[in-house]
Structure 1
Amino acid sequence: RGRCAGPCRLLYDLYKDANKLDLKDKGNYYLSPADLCGIHLLRELKTIGIDSLKIEGRMKRAEYVAIVTNAYRKAIDELEGNNIDIQDLYNNLTKVFNRNFSTGYLVKGNEAKFLSTLRPDNRGVYIGKVIKQDRHFNTEILLDDELNLGDGIEIWGPKDNDNTALIVNEIRLGSGSVDKAEKGHVVTLKLSAKVNKNDLVYKNYDKALFDKALKTISEDDYKIDVDISLSLKKGEYAKLVITDDMGNCAEEMGQIKAEPAQNRPLDEATAKSKVARLGDTPFRMGNFTFSNIDNVLVPFSDLNDTRRRACKNLLEKRLNKIAPSYEELSAADFRNYKNAFLKLAPNNQDSPTKLSVFVCSIEDAQLAVKAGADIVYVGLEGISTHKKVNGRELLEVIDWAQGEGTKVIASLPKIQKPTDPNLGEDLLKLGYKEFMAGNLGALNWCRQNNIKVTADYTLNFFNPYALRYIIEKDIDRVCLSPELTLKQMAKFPDLTKAELLVHGDLILMTSQYCMLSGVLSTGEKPCQGRICRKNNYYLQDDKGFRFPVVTDAYCRFYVLNSRTLCMIEDLHKLIKLKPYALRIEAHRLKGEQLTKTISIYRQALEQINNKQKPDLLGYKKELESISNSSFTKGHYYRGVL
């Protein structure tokens, strides 16, 4: 639904409780990952059975895609014994774009290089340092790598915003100018700003490398050769025929009849130049045949129009030949099929909308039951509590809550790796009969074991088709995506199997790698969860918004929204949609905060269900008095921007 807004590449301040931390040596791009590079690991990846590699080239230049693809192609060939220098290929990858390289999660124990907190953009390759600069900004640089005319360089100053960037248009070596300088040379460059002795020089654009890449991606190399024939006769329309390599033939006639030329008739060279202008079509002219026995002339505008129509005709014929055929469907039939597909089985229970709550501990689950929740989901990963939920204790709470008229359900971790303990299997042995799943693997595991399961909003159910499909797969119910607007939800034909988020601090980002450990740990040993348990942390952006950061029992890292979702004012609008339940996300709600929040929603729900008119604005003020942050209505009215 649009391009990434790039929040991970923004500048943040890190706070511990109310105190801003000074971590200038680490930088302030706390969420900026380094670039993944596994070119040295291809042999190991092949050994464990990996048979396909994916390269991320979105939002990158064509030259980047060409250079990186070429490097991995050659590296794969090296596995077959072609003796290619992998280090040379790696060097090319550093030259085209890098924020430092990391092996990500491919190599255990290499997590220290996961982030690039000093800067979020291309840092280039180190090529030398400044020796001195005169008052006219003539700057001497001792090179540690080659430098060519047309290269882009950046000189790093002592402060964050004190860098100088330029394209090299002159290299002075000794008494003359050169096109290229080598490692060990002291060169003089004319700058436009002051720099300091020992400032580091980085090359962030290698002209020779990019020029070489451009030659491999010439647009013409991917065009289809076509033969073109143009015939002109006095008093008739121009006839243009284009034939491709598949035998498709497009014939178009001009709109203006040919007339005898007053001065010069249309000659072959001129005609060829006009019809060869195939522009942004996928075609390129091969053979050209021209006939003008009557020495006539037609307007160039008519030739251009005829050529465009012929190209469009030919393209349609090519596509029709290779495209699968479909039965024609009328608009009325489509609407009927659509409505039939979306119509869920009628709900025989006209029960009022329930109130569900997601909590992170057994203690909070007990509070939620006592406060009046109909359903309580308990996250097994212990977000913000750093404690794993004890299965036997939770089973006791489930039995107790059932007597109180509340259903308590274990929520499986949203991230589950093959090396993690299988919490689902352990709980299944204890007699658990129902789970909530937040990823496709957990959802499939529940279905395979015939376990009653709710699909969480992290699976991003965004339209009626997805809801209908998943319900047909015997999923009990679904929590819809928080990116949906109220108007979009109103278009769902049936929400009796759906939960809607109504209140709480929503998770914006989840990471296996813990940023707090990465930037706050000292020495070689990881923090092992000691740092985050002692204090509260949050990130503040340049607009002053503060995003709480928390971890779980597995040292995974979560960034929460800076604003608390609160839809208490619009509760009657949500209930009017007849969802199965409205959910409170209580990641940060504890003790009396949690109890009071649930009680307010419980009371408002009952009043609306009983046709009473609750004081929703008054309830909002009560919630504001106990909230950790100010309120937002999320995407309910503005949608995904």
Structure 2
Amino acid sequence: MRNGIKREDIELLAPAGNWECLKAAVANGANAVFFGVEKFNARARAENFQMAELPEIMAFLHMYGVKGFLTFNILVFEDEMNEARKLVEACIDAGVDALIVQDLGLVKLIREISPDFPIHGSTQMTITSPEAVEFTKPFSIERVVLGRENSLKEIKVIGEKAKLPMEVFVHGALCVSYSGQCLTSEMWGGRSANRGECAQACRLPYDLIVDGVQKEMGNIAYLLSPKDLAAIELVPELIEAGVTSFKIEGRLKSPEYVANVVSKYRAAIDRYFAGQDASVSEQDIRELQQSFSRGFTHGFLEGTNNKTLLDGSFPKSRGVFLGTVKKVLKNAVLVELSSPLKRGDGIVFDAGDPTQKEEGGRVYDLLQRGKKVEGEVNSGLYEIVMGRNDVKLQRIHVGDRVWKTSDPELDKRLRKTFETEKPYRTFPLSVHVSGKLGEKLSVTWVDKMANNAVTSQSEIPLEAAVKRPLTAELLLDQLGRLGGTIYRLEAADLTVALDGEVIVPVSELNRMRREAVEQLLFLRTKPPVYQKRTVDAYADVKERGQVEKPKLTALCRSLEQVEAAAQTDVDFLYADFEFVKQYPDAVKLAHRYGKKIAIATMRIHMPDENGVLALIARSQPDAILVRNTGALHYYMARRHELGIPLIGDFSLNIANHKAVELFLDCGLEMVTPSYDLNIQQMVDLLENADASKMEVVIHQHLPMFHTEHCVYCTFLSPGTDHTNCGTPCETSRVSLRDRVGFSHPVRVDTGCRNTVYNAIDQSGAEYLSEFTKLGVGSYRIEFLEEEPERVQEVIRLYRQALRGEVSGSHVWRSLKATNQLGVTRGQLIK
């Protein structure tokens, strides 16, 4: 125990995309493993397991005392609810230790099936504040996975206030967008990140456009591609901040990666509890980099530092930096090495443009001043000789960076940890032997770690010993023959209470030992029993309310837009501004024109941001557009004193009727479906939920990335965060131009978070008639940078469509004709 924290309180949680990774995790010290099955998990590209394998997986893990968590961390669409129910039931039957869940509708379904089956709130829930944790408690969510953007200070605050076990990512790839809030893959490729199909648009190159002009960035092209998280040096601080589960990312990674990272973090955690030096060796860091690294960062754990989050010059794993090219020779390359290298290692020559084919291959020989060097070299000037067909020396230049991309010797060492016939772990037994002449020998076996005990008896009674009576030494020798099993018996754990000198055949002792081991293994691998009810996933579908005339609403992002919209026949307004100080003016402006107005919260809620929520309420809006569960909990706790209606926005990720019901039951008067729904999925939802209490966003610039990484601070300021950046966002407008030539606007919110909006506004106008038949209560238009005249034109067209004066197709075609960027039908494509 250290500082009141026990070693067994800390869980090391490893990823497993297949059986080899699962074994690598167990063999190298993981306390728990998270994995997915063929559907319903956020790594659709991983090999994954089959649902039928669940009993085998859980028996294997439980045999070694390791927990198994199944990732169910995606949105569940309406037509999938029964299939989701079957997977939940299979997990309960197999004894899965918890489901990691994103979709709150799925949480509702799980609780209908089982009141006690463990649920962990996924990082996809975007839980970043004590209030967001409190929101989960009525659903008996026993653990939350915090957002990667939380700092150590914030983690400590959340733990102290919310008092729920916290799981935190400590190693692996970083998403530049808040998990659960990235819509880029859906917009550009029809592949939803909230469905495990991330297309990694953040790893693509972009041009930085500042006030309409391209900024020269040298070799910095990957403006949204973060380095990889490596918090191994912060293990003591994480433990003392209250983190109970250390989570390693990587279900798409190799078993060698799993073995490497798990073993390193296992050692770091053990050093802390042993009171040893917590520092990490350079060799350990290099080996971690070797398995996978885009460069390492502490992410946001030490607070926001926009200058250290990304490198910008490459988007993929590089491995270990070796040095730079000093000279290109006739048959070799002269390199100043700063890290170890040996024959057989793989290297790549980095000329600063990873979009082009890069030269690289295996090291054939190492020379120093023309003489061959054997073994590994650590630093100095060496001639690297490559295979004749591996590289074109004429494409390598002085100054090129050199990286070690693979180390076969390291991989071989890592594979040995899990490619073995021996048990990965052994557990101590406590054995008590008793008996007397004429009675059967009794042996009680206690599996101390699992707290299981069995008793075996001899089939024949004890006889008087003529020679070689049963002694503690003889019993230890026979009963301790546990090689090939997961058990071990030490002399100190064997107690003997025999009356006189007695004997029983050795074969009988062997039989008793084998039977005891079988029984103990059965108890170890026996799945825990949870309550389970048979439910109909659609039993709670309610009748729809009647809508005589659906509302048309407009979300504005400037006072000019509010004034323009207020002068139309729009039914309701929303204000979503960069600066909260403008909210009272927006409310007054709307009221001057006789319009009601709601104010939007930020999409993210951090521990120190309740003041912003209070300011929104003090602005006296007619409603509040709630974008996160932390804000929802904050307002619901004050609903009697505030009396302000609450509307749920798209970022709550509502994708099925159970999620609709859950949020309406929590106090929302209306909810907005997730942007992940295509037209058929939207229709399915509207058919099974009360559509009269739903608002469909029918026109908008899709908010693609929502990120703590500030593009303005990183590339337009010498500062590191909002305290010293000089607020370039107040004087300049930035956009990111993609490979196709579209420039996507980047806007900043009150919390200095960036949203990258799609360059092209999208319209679902042609589906208005279908939605109206289904009884949708409200339709929203969202504006971004439109001039007042454009605002009024768009509202007029949609009002005409709602009255049936023009077709939906006419609306988007007309807008396409008047908008130089054009309009796509966006996420509502069949």
The alignment's TM-score, normalised by the length of structure 1, stands at: 0.75
- Residue 417 of structure 1 corresponds to 606
Which residues of structure 2 form unaligned runs of 5+?
1-194, 427-449, 454-483, 487-521
Q: Secondary structure at the match of 2:826?
A: coil
- Residue 378 of structure 2 corresponds to 182
Q: In structure 1, what is the Cα distance between the partners aligned to 2:631 and 2:719?
A: 37
Matched, 1:23 2:217: yes
**CA distance change for structure 1 residues 452 and 616 in 2, over 3 Å: closer, same or farther?**
closer
- Residue 577 of structure 1 corresponds to 774
Q: In structure 1, what is the Cα distance between the partners aligned to 2:693 and 2:720?
A: 50
**CA distance change for structure 1 residues 142 and 487 in 2, over 3 Å: closer, same or farther?**
closer
Matched, 1:58 2:251: yes
**CA distance change for structure 1 residues 21 and 554 in 2, over 3 Å: closer, same or farther?**
same
The percentage of aligned residue pairs carrying the same residue is 26
Q: In structure 1, what is the Cα distance between the partners aligned to 2:603 and 2:635?
A: 14
- Residue 540 of structure 2 corresponds to 341
- Residue 806 of structure 2 corresponds to 614
CA positional deviation for 1:44: 2.7
- Counterpart mapping for 1:367-386 below 5 A: 367-379=564-576, 382-383=577-578
CA positional deviation for 1:587: 2.0
- Residue 297 of structure 1 corresponds to none
**CA distance change for structure 1 residues 199 and 484 in 2, over 3 Å: closer, same or farther?**
closer
Q: In structure 1, what is the Cα distance between the partners aligned to 2:382 and 2:344?
A: 18
- Counterpart mapping for 1:7-406 below 5 A: 7-25=201-219, 27-80=220-273, 81-83=275-277, 85-88=279-282, 89-108=284-303, 110-135=305-330, 137-157=331-351, 160=354, 161=356, 163-172=358-367, 174-176=370-372, 178-184=374-380, 186-190=382-386, 192-194=391-393, 195-218=396-419, 322=527, 324=529, 337-344=536-543, 346-347=544-545, 349-379=546-576, 382-383=577-578, 387-397=579-589, 399-400=591-592, 404=594, 406=595
The amino acid that maps onto 1:464 is H
Q: In structure 2, what is the Cα distance between the partners aligned to 1:65 and 1:621?
A: 52
1:353-391 deviations in Å (ceiling 9; x for gaps): 111111123442232222122121112xx24xxx33434
CA positional deviation for 1:530: 4.5
Matched, 1:490 2:683: yes
**CA distance change for structure 1 residues 464 and 193 in 2, over 3 Å: closer, same or farther?**
same
- Residue 597 of structure 1 corresponds to 794
Q: In structure 2, what is the Cα distance between the partners aligned to 1:181 and 1:622?
A: 68
CA contact (8 A) 1:95 1:205 kept: yes
1:488-541 deviations in Å (ceiling 9; x for gaps): 222232311111111011100111221132123247897746534444432222
CA positional deviation for 1:17: 4.3
Aligned residues: 531
**CA distance change for structure 1 residues 637 and 219 in 2, over 3 Å: closer, same or farther?**
farther
- Residue 650 of structure 2 corresponds to 457
The amino acid that maps onto 1:216 is T
The amino acid that maps onto 1:436 is L
1:20-74 deviations in Å (ceiling 9; x for gaps): 322114x100110111222222333333333332221232222222222222222
Matched, 1:466 2:659: yes
Higher relative contact order (CA 8 A, sep 6+): 2
**CA distance change for structure 1 residues 558 and 524 in 2, over 3 Å: closer, same or farther?**
closer
Compare 10-19 and 613-622 and name the one that shifted more.
Answer: 613-622
**CA distance change for structure 1 residues 176 and 86 in 2, over 3 Å: closer, same or farther?**
closer
- Residue 615 of structure 2 corresponds to 426
CA positional deviation for 1:579: 0.9
CA contact (8 A) 1:74 1:84 kept: no
CA contact (8 A) 1:482 1:634 kept: no
Q: In structure 2, what is the Cα distance between the partners aligned to 1:367 and 1:580?
A: 24
CA positional deviation for 1:11: 1.3
**CA distance change for structure 1 residues 516 and 430 in 2, over 3 Å: closer, same or farther?**
closer
Compare 319-328 and 15-24 and name the one that shifted more.
Answer: 319-328
Q: In structure 2, what is the Cα distance between the partners aligned to 1:584 and 1:324?
A: 50
**CA distance change for structure 1 residues 366 and 19 in 2, over 3 Å: closer, same or farther?**
closer
CA positional deviation for 1:149: 2.6
- Residue 61 of structure 2 corresponds to none
Q: In structure 2, what is the Cα distance between the partners aligned to 1:363 and 1:19?
A: 25
CA positional deviation for 1:395: 4.2
**CA distance change for structure 1 residues 197 and 561 in 2, over 3 Å: closer, same or farther?**
closer
**CA distance change for structure 1 residues 536 and 629 in 2, over 3 Å: closer, same or farther?**
farther
Q: In structure 2, what is the Cα distance between the partners aligned to 1:535 and 1:224?
A: 59
Q: In structure 1, what is the Cα distance between the partners aligned to 2:729 and 2:820?
A: 18
Q: Secondary structure at the match of 2:735?
A: strand
**CA distance change for structure 1 residues 77 and 615 in 2, over 3 Å: closer, same or farther?**
closer
- Residue 445 of structure 1 corresponds to 634
CA positional deviation for 1:561: 1.3
The amino acid that maps onto 2:635 is C
Instruction: Give the number of the structure whose alpha-carbon radius of gyration is greater.
Output: 1
The amino acid that maps onto 2:345 is D
Matched, 1:631 2:820: no
CA positional deviation for 1:8: 0.5
Q: Secondary structure at the match of 2:415?
A: helix
CA positional deviation for 1:169: 3.9
**CA distance change for structure 1 residues 35 and 340 in 2, over 3 Å: closer, same or farther?**
same
**CA distance change for structure 1 residues 598 and 573 in 2, over 3 Å: closer, same or farther?**
same
CA positional deviation for 1:422: 1.7
- Residue 5 of structure 1 corresponds to 199
CA positional deviation for 1:594: 1.0
Q: In structure 2, what is the Cα distance between the partners aligned to 1:197 and 1:320?
A: 60
Q: Secondary structure at the match of 2:307?
A: helix
Q: Secondary structure at the match of 2:680?
A: helix
The amino acid that maps onto 1:212 is R
